[in-house]
Amino acid sequence: MKRVLFALMLAALALSLATGCRTLFGRGRGPIETFSFLPQHNPALSAPVDAAINERREPKEVQLVVPPGTDTRSLVATISLNTEASVAVISSGRRVEQRNSVTPNDFSVPVMYSVAVPGDDEPWLYRVTVREAETDAQLAALHVENAVNFEPRFQADVFTYRAEVPFSSRSVRIGARARSSYLQRIDIDGTLIRSGSGSVSVAFDHTDRREIVIETLAEDRVTRQRYTLTLLRAAPDRNPALESLSVGAATLTPAFDFDRLHYTTEAAHDARDIVVRAQPQSSVASVSIEPADAGRPLAVSGDPASPRGATVAFRDSDRLRLVIAVRAEDGTPLRYTLDVRRAAPPVGAAAGVQPADEPAPDPAAQTPPPPAPAPVATVQPAAESGAARSPDAALQLSVSATSLQLGRRETAALGRDEIRNQATVTVRGYRSNSVLISEAVAVDIQRRGNNPPLLSFNWNSERSGARAGELVEVEIAIPTSGAAFLHYSRAVVAGETASVEVPFLLLSGNPRVEWPQIGTPVPVDGRFSMIPPGRIGRNQFTVQELARAADGSTGAGLTVRDAETEEQLFAGPVWQGRGVRAGQQLSFDREVVLDEGRSISYDLEVRGVDGRGWRATGRTTVWTTRIAYDGGFEPALLFVLQ
């Protein structure tokens, strides 16, 4: 019986499509194949003007851009159809039959076309909008990344600038943003950006001064603007002082002050390693850890100036004296000393005394606790380029897209540039230049006249040089004939099967993603439901109770602490709702902001109207892993509890 009903539904759907009726999926592709203004029928034009047709909306949208100064009150359209049909204009309140390439219309206001196809229940409607190309070629912003000084302050009608960059710079990233969203391109030192904004990296080595030319071309492809930027190398930084110094969660004596050079602290009696973090005030200063006692071996791994710090072995003694050596960019040294002593063991530890069992709670006074939540993996970014690696995780990864349509913004920016039919999939360590995989993949391009093309590709790999639990960055880049790339990036965890379904492609001159700087506040999110993690199908009675409780007002509260210092970073409600199904996946409906790269512990508590519910705890690190189409990034996911 189910098969018969399904067949009848398919037949009804096919019939509605054949007759041009609307379905759950809209009417689909219409009868107009192309819509143009040709110079042989419009003497005011020197070249054809082709339309961009948006098939997704009803009425369908047809947009044309004519040269500045064009009289749009009497233009003649040339329309090509993919089926037999009659065409009329109905926007004036009466029906005006159209003779192709003959009938003029006033396009100074939107014009509504009605296309009647024999056998269709209703005509196809097209709303045609014509505008003049913009002549604005000026920039709205110009910036130099990490500039020590930039002057004068940017103004669109000021065309000469100078910027000082750090002494150690070997390349400089320059970014520009157009005042007009329709700007054709920006040329920075010979590198084209075929959109209204972007950035490029220019070489800046073997010289202390370099002049960079930035040229723009307006939408009319005639108006240009030229900006000149002079790069100057700044003097080397001379600051060797520390901004902060810590040993795990231990307390320093005296409290840290960059003017004090000598400190003592205490490690746990059973500690085998300590983690030292030493953050310099200057971003170009270097930090190293050395033994205070000459000739004594010292095992150190990691960078003390990184967010993760350096791990120092502390195993065969009760005292460890260290030197934190800081060197400024100009070579100026500064040495801090750190005296670490092992704490005495707690009373009874040597005799092997075990703590007494706590009395069992009264079962009648408490609701049974939910099962423990599924463990949450704590991922760390990839090691920096050049660090030793141990390839012990096979990352089973797939990257694919099926009939992915380019956005209107990318289609307009491409112009007449061609999309190449081969992409490069690159897998590298997260926030690292260490490339683990770089392979070519074929791209199937379905061209559809003036409509945006459809792209499809599929790539699979079962190898990587990543460590288990490590984040890796997956990038797909499709070159174009205009030296730009269609690209998408996302970070995933190694040691598991990962599938990246590409949701969109961006167009820029550099496919590499610049993730938020570590320490920058970023929005975060979580995924959960009214059912405790792992409970589906195991205790149906509990699931039903939660579903009934969800008919009223339910809520979720979150507490976040620093994983090492236990400092409370956030506490409060993150979701409130009514009538939610027990298995429905939920996410935060309130803004929660944490620092990028921070290791945290969390406690999520979900409660129904009757006070019953569940809680989950875990540890993770705040890492942004997904880009957003409209710019910026999607919130960092703290957990996915299923």
Which range among 19-33, 296-310, 572-586, 609-623 shows the weakest confidence by mean pLDDT? Answer: 19-33
| Residue 92, pLDDT score | 84
**Same-domain check for residues 50 and 29:** yes
State yes or no: pLDDT of 204 exceeds 90.
yes
Looking at the predicted structure, is the pLDDT value of residue 139 above 90? yes
DSSP track, 580-627: --TT--EE-SS--EEETT-EEEEEEEEE-TTS-EEEEEEEEE----BB
Domain extent for 566? 521-640
Give 77 or 554, the one with higher predicted confidence. Answer: 77
Q: What is the pLDDT of residue 294?
A: 74
Would you state the pLDDT for residue 538? 41
Residue with tokens 């992915």: 404
pLDDT at residue 375 greater than cutoff 80: no
Give the span between the Cα atoms of 322 and 338, in whole angstroms: 5
183 and 126: one domain? no
Q: Which residue has the tokens 């990034």?
A: 633
Share of the chain above pLDDT 90, in %: 51
User: Residue 280's domain is classified under what CATH number?
Assistant: 2.60.40.10
Residue 381 binned pLDDT confidence (cut-offs 50, 70, 90): very low
Q: What residue has token string 């065309």?
A: 159
In a domain, residue 386? The reply is no
Residues 472 and 417 in one domain: yes
- Asked if residue 350 is part of any domain, the answer here is no
Q: Are residues 454 and 532 in the same domain?
A: no
* Range with the poorest average pLDDT among 41-50, 548-557, 595-604: 548-557
**CA–CA separation, 77 vs 218, rounded Å?**
25
- The mean pLDDT value for 566-585 works out to 79
- The CA-atom distances, in angstroms, between 234 and each of 149, 160, 202, 230, 364 are 9, 19, 17, 13, 73
Residues 531 and 503 in one domain: no
pLDDT of residue 213: 97
The pLDDT of residue 629 is: 87
- pLDDT-derived band at 379 (thresholds 50, 70, 90) equals very low
What pLDDT, on the 0 to 100 scale, is given for residue 366? 38
Q: Confidence class of residue 367 from pLDDT cuts 50, 70 and 90? A: very low
Residue 433, domain CATH: 2.60.40
Query: Cα-flanking dihedrals φ and ψ of residue 195, to 5°?
Result: -165, -175
Average pLDDT score, the chain: 83
Q: For 373-399, what is the mean pLDDT? A: 48
Is residue 83 in a domain?
yes
Tens-place pLDDT, residues 504-546: 999 988 999 999 988 888 999 998 877 777 654 444 334 334 4
In angstroms, rounded to a whole number, what is the distance separating the alpha carbons of residues 144 and 166?
A: 11
Same domain, 120 and 161: no
Task: Report whether pLDDT(435) > 80.
Answer: yes
Is 215 found in the same domain as 170?
Answer: yes
Q: What is the pLDDT of residues 414-427, one digit of tens each?
A: 887 889 999 999 99
pLDDT digits (tens, 9 = 90+) for 171-192: 999 999 999 999 999 999 999 9
Task: Please say if the pLDDT value at position 572 is more than 50.
Answer: yes
pTM for this one?
Answer: 0.45
Same domain assignment for residues 636 and 525: yes
* Confidence grade of residue 364 (pLDDT, cut at 50, 70, 90): very low
- What's the CA gap between 302 and 277, in Å, rounded? 10
Domain boundary among 107, 132, 157: 132
To 5 degrees, how large is the angle CA 112–CA 116–CA 119? 155
**528 lies in the same domain as 501:** no
Least confident of 151-155, 167-171, 225-229, 479-483: 479-483
- Per the domain annotation, does 285 fall within a domain? yes
Picking from 479, 478, 505, 490, the residue whose alpha carbon sits closest to that of residue 397 is: 490
Specify the DSSP element, H or E, that contains 633.
none
Q: In this structure, are 332 and 404 located in the same domain?
A: no
pLDDT of residue 107: 96
> Count of domains in the chain?
5
